[in-house]
Structure 1
Amino acid sequence: MTAAAVDRDRPSAAFIEEMRRRFPTERETDALLVRKLRRRAGPPYRRIAKDELAACLEAMLAERLDGPFEISDTRWFTGGVSKIQLGFTLAWDDPERGPSRDRLMVRMDPSESLNATSRVREAELLRAFHGVLPVPGVFALDADARWFPEPALVYAFVDGVTKPTGATSGKVSGLGTNFGPALRERLAPQFLDHLVRIHTFDHEEAAFTALDRPRAGTTESALWQLNRARRVWEEDRADDLPLMEVAANWMERNLPATDVVSVVHGDFRSGNFLFDEATGEIRAWLDWERAHLGDRHRDLAWTTQALFGHYGEGADRGTYYVCGLIPRDEFFARYEEASGLPVDHDALAFYRILNCYQIVVSTLATAYRVARLGKSHQDILLARVKGEVPIVVGELRQLLKERM
């Protein structure tokens, strides 16, 4: 199928099947991407009013809960760039606690998201890590959009901040957050401990239905993740970018085998945990939407990206802090000691390249397509992220030069 014959705004059934054939990946990911393309020619995103979303919520709870309930204090949340999030308070009669008032959140995709992700997968992971890590408790799931316009997850609201309230850098989403020495000292041990808990979690005992398990000792995990990124690039891009072909071909020839299959958070970094500023306690880990079973080096490469950290100041100017928390060499050394798992620097290099590739896919292809078709409530922001492309493309080029 030639590029000239492809209308990515209205993908044909033949195009969708061609993508599935060329880039096989996890079953849940495949279903999400097929659903995305089949619905792409539909109407653009329509802003849903707060009262409309509350009515969806009320309809779901009326069927799910026994006894009367009341929804109040509905409010929008702006965190989670690619998702629609509504906070509310639920007064109800909990069978275990009796009369209760709970602060909860609805998390839902727009018509088409920057990341095609699964609310089922997110719910399963949050349930699995309850009691293992600080995570929001899952309250309800609308997996098939029976009540909401799109699949939606309802979970507990957690108090906390993602960066110091006095921060003046203007950076958002955990990009280069400077926590300062006092908070850094309290947050860093928790940050590292929580990553180790994720990677050493006994997933064989978890009741996962939406996560495929790759086989240890094979390249299945790396291939599934590469194929997902390549498929989204082909589905969403506007123009050719020869460097992306070079990168994809190199990765296909250099797939690393996964020695130990782990839960991979997929976006483990500053900006995705909430903490109590007074005590420095991490209260919740969020944004599990990119999580999967696979190679821990995907997380290690992502977490240590230069984009998320910063260099120290004054006498500490030459020290790079991973996610603003731990010097890079110390991060790897402490991780190996705490987890008992080695850091393979060849695997790390592969996933650094894959992560750069994925960022280019998201910013140059998906953000463009979603904004162009008006499929999201964040079209202006999505259009702006294209400014990151030259920086990430430059990093991708340099990483490939070092390995070729």
Structure 2
Amino acid sequence: MSTSEVNFDGLIGPNHNYSGLAFGNLASSRNAKNVSSPRQAALQGLEKMRTLHRLGYRQGFLPPQLRPDIKVLRRLGFSGSDRNIIGKVARQAPALIPMVYSASSMWAANAATVTPSADSNDGRVHFTPANLVTTAHRAIEHEQTQRCLQTVFADKKYFSVHSALPPQARFADEGAANHTRLTTDYGQRGVGLYVYGRDMHTDATKLKFPARQTLEASEAIARQHGVLDSAVFLQQSSTAINVGAFHNDVVAVGNGPVLFFHEQAFQPDSQKQAFAELYRAIPFQPVCVPAEKVSLSDAITSYLFNSQLLVGDDGSFDSMRLIAPTECRDNDSVNRYLSELVDDPSQPIREVKFVDVRQSMSNGGGPACLRLRVALTDEELSAVHPEFLLDEQKIDQLQQWVKIHYREELAPCDLKSPDFLNECYTAFDELSQLLKLGSYYEFQREC
């Protein structure tokens, strides 16, 4: 039985907007209050999925979360119909509007941490939704994430979907953006590499931006998934965090036995220890990008490491492909480095393919942010809800749905209109019908 990596991308919702809510996410802050294009964003995301599908990779998707999240506003003391609540909040507490309309759940790399069945103690694929407690607009996501994962991966014979960790700063968890699985074969036991920004000894006064992932959260997830004894823990460098690496996937990406990372990504002592553990566990292949060739600033601006590192056409880790944002091509130092990289026979990355996800990039997420990776055996893949696995026809259907229901332009002030709520609900209702999900969204169940 073969095992393959399946990328489940977050389908971008009709609420895609630039509200600049994520402190430490430089792109998000830079584009705050700008006019977005939900239609372009969703179509760009779907075209990326189509690109990977046509290259021969297995591709799935996760549906957008319900926005606005009126349930949150009800918990905050607002009452009435959904339309009335939006009107009240717009008048009385307008700062809450962007929070409940946040588009951030589109970045599926933050949805959960995943352990494949080859690694777990019970032979099932394990998912833990990220609690995302560092920021208010993301902390509201995990309940819907859990329900989504329980829908897509419903068969308990093969899948175990846990609840998020306790919503406390001590257990702050940002999902797979800070985790990668290293292995020589998807179907063989691998090593979970958990990268964290802070632990109990971290001096927070030396951090300009929040260190979002904690060691205790990473340890709890490894324990929950039954892989604590084999897990490797590695600390981000304060230098990287202070330049804008709010997640590890801004400065590193791994797949198979390969870890592609920036020279200044990790704390030196932690890196030395973690790499020694990785060398003992697998034929580990680190590919380090020198700061003299690509500065941290250029790496973060271009999102070089938020590329998808994939197996080559032959399915091996000896000739790998990097799916990079077009911003890498447009950055002179990064483009020059990538040209040198693919010509270097001492490392396995042999091809770079550029994709346009500019709408997502403008909000602080590149190609890798948009996907959750899940290693699945053929049997497990057959147990996945089939409506969430993509082919050309399904991509065409989703693109047509986007073209009908999404605005070409959306300004932050538009979120205050109850009419926009109706637009979103109509789009979500049509999507649930398209996917044969019944009353998937909460507003449907209340009718």
**Structure with the greater relative contact order (CA < 8 A, sep ≥ 6): 1 or 2?**
2
TM-score, with structure 2 as normaliser:
0.26
TM-score normalised by structure 1 residue count: 0.28
